[in-house]
């Protein structure tokens, strides 16, 4: 039996404005990445009102960005991204180096030449807009990363601890809730748990990045799969240096579900935190009060053929 899994992802974002918007500049992070275990078979974006030009380019992290501007008055904006993606099994993550050795290798040493992989990973060692380096995160992580514990086992233990001790509660936080508040209240959503795990990992000296994507969810037994009821998902990826100058590897970990991502996790892109990789972000002139609706559908190929997904 083939381990190739094909999915269709439909991501629709709709804004309604109380007053006309005179000028809007928008940036989209909605194109799935090409990875050793993931191929983007097709990707289209439909925008209403239709812009004259949509530019595509790569950001500093290698994510594909689409950018556009609207300079005619409009009271709504509708962005629909439709993607077909094929995933294959990743295999079990491998990172047997002791975490304290990994942290020592990633620490700054004057005059030392880093491998390209380590140099790239060093972007994800520091604080960012939503990730903090603090003593309380060091203490929390220390119970998972004892002396000599491998990177893989420490990541597994921390991931499961967050999964068990924090409650999923969409009403508890907003996109701007500080990670320190999430840590105190023990409640949040996948974005919060990713930022928390990143704060713990970076606080002990490990390089870790925020991963944005989608998760195939299964309906309750006997119930149909709902169209538009899914959502964007977020998890983390931790870097483990290679031995004796060899290139290292990245371990993905999903603290919201307590699993190592495999063929149910579709990767859009990654950055230092949510702000680097938010699905749609922009600035506008006018508009007054606004409302936003997001509808995401992730379907296996056999359920998606010929299905009309526009809301």
First to last CA, the chain: 35
- Cis amide prior to 49 (ω within 30 degrees): yes
C-alpha dist (Å) from residue 176 to 4, 129, 183, 211, 220: 37, 10, 14, 18, 32
The residue among 111 and 211 whose pLDDT is bigger is 211
Q: What is the pLDDT of residue 180?
A: 96
196-205: pLDDT as tens digits: 999 999 999 9
Does the pLDDT at position 1 exceed 50? no
166-179: pLDDT as tens digits: 999 999 999 889 99
Q: What is the pLDDT of residue 245?
A: 60
Distance CA(35)–CA(144), nearest Å, equals 30
Percent of the chain's residues with pLDDT above 70: 93
Torsion, CA 198, CA 199, CA 203, CA 208, rounded to 10: 20
Q: Which of 21-30, 100-109, 299-308 has the highest mean pLDDT?
A: 21-30
At residue 25, φ and ψ (nearest 5 deg) are -115, 125
Supply angle C-alpha 268, 74, 228, rounded to 5.
40
Residue 244 confidence class, pLDDT cut points 50, 70, 90: low
Strand order in the sheet with 208-215: 249-253, 232-240, 208-215, 265-271
Instruction: Give the DSSP letter string of 51-100.
Output: PS-EEEEE-TTS-EEEEEEE-S-EEEEEEEEEEEEEE---------SBHH
Per the structure block, which two tokens stand in for 71?
A: 């300079």
State whether residue 294 is helix, strand or coil.
strand
Distance CA(181)–CA(121), nearest Å, equals 27
Q: Mean of the pLDDT values across residues 86-114?
A: 86
Cα torsion 278, 88, 250, 260: sign: positive
CB 260 within 8 A of CB 6: no
Residue 226 confidence class, pLDDT cut points 50, 70, 90: low
CB 258 within 8 A of CB 193: no
Q: What is the pLDDT of residue 230?
A: 75
262-274: pLDDT as tens digits: 999 999 999 999 9
Percent of the chain's residues with pLDDT above 90: 78
Q: What is the pLDDT of residue 252?
A: 96
Q: What is the pLDDT of residue 9?
A: 95
Does the pLDDT at position 310 exceed 70? no
Does the pLDDT at position 219 exceed 80? no
Does the pLDDT at position 251 exceed 60? yes
Q: What is the pLDDT of residue 242?
A: 82
Residue 229 confidence class, pLDDT cut points 50, 70, 90: low
Q: What is the pLDDT of residue 302?
A: 84
In the chain the domains, ranked by start, together with CATH numbers, are: 5-88+277-304 (2.60.40.2250), 99-274 (3.10.620.30)
Q: Mean of the pLDDT values across residues 181-203?
A: 97
134-169: pLDDT as tens digits: 999 999 999 999 999 999 999 999 999 999 999 999
């Amino acid at each position: 039996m083939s381990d190739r899994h094909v999915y269709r992802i439909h991501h629709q974002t709709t804004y309604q404005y109380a007053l006309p918007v005179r000028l809007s500049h928008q940036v989209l992070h909605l194109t799935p990445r090409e990875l050793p275990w993931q191929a983007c078979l097709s990707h289209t974006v439909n925008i209403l009102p239709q812009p004259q030009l949509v530019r595509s380019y790569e950001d500093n992290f290698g994510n594909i960005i689409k950018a556009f501007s609207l300079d005619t008055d409009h009271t709504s904006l509708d962005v629909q991204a439709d993607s077909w993606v094929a995933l294959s099994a990743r295999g079990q993550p491998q990172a047997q180096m002791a975490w304290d050795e990994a942290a020592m290798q990633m620490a700054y040493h004057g005059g030392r030449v880093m491998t390209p992989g380590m140099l790239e990973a060093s972007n994800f060692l520091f604080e960012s807009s939503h990730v903090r380096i603090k003593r309380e995160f060091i203490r929390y992580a220390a119970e998972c990363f004892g002396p000599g514990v491998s990177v893989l086992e420490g990541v597994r233990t921390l991931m499961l601890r967050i999964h068990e001790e924090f409650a999923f509660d969409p009403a508890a936080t907003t996109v701007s809730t500080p990670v320190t508040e999430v840590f105190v209240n023990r409640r949040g959503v996948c974005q919060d748990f990713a930022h928390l795990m990143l704060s713990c990992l970076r606080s002990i000296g490990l390089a870790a990045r925020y991963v944005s994507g989608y998760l195939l969810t299964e309906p309750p037994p006997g119930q149909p799969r709902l169209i538009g009821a899914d959502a964007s998902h977020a998890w983390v990826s931790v870097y483990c240096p290679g031995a004796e100058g060899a290139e290292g590897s990245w371990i993905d970990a999903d603290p919201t579900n307590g699993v190592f991502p495999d063929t149910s996790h579709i990767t859009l892109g990654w950055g230092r935190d949510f702000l680097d990789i938010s699905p749609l972000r922009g600035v506008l002139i006018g508009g007054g009060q606004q409302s936003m609706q997001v509808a995401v559908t992730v379907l296996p190929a056999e359920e998606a053929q010929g299905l009309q997904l526009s809301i």
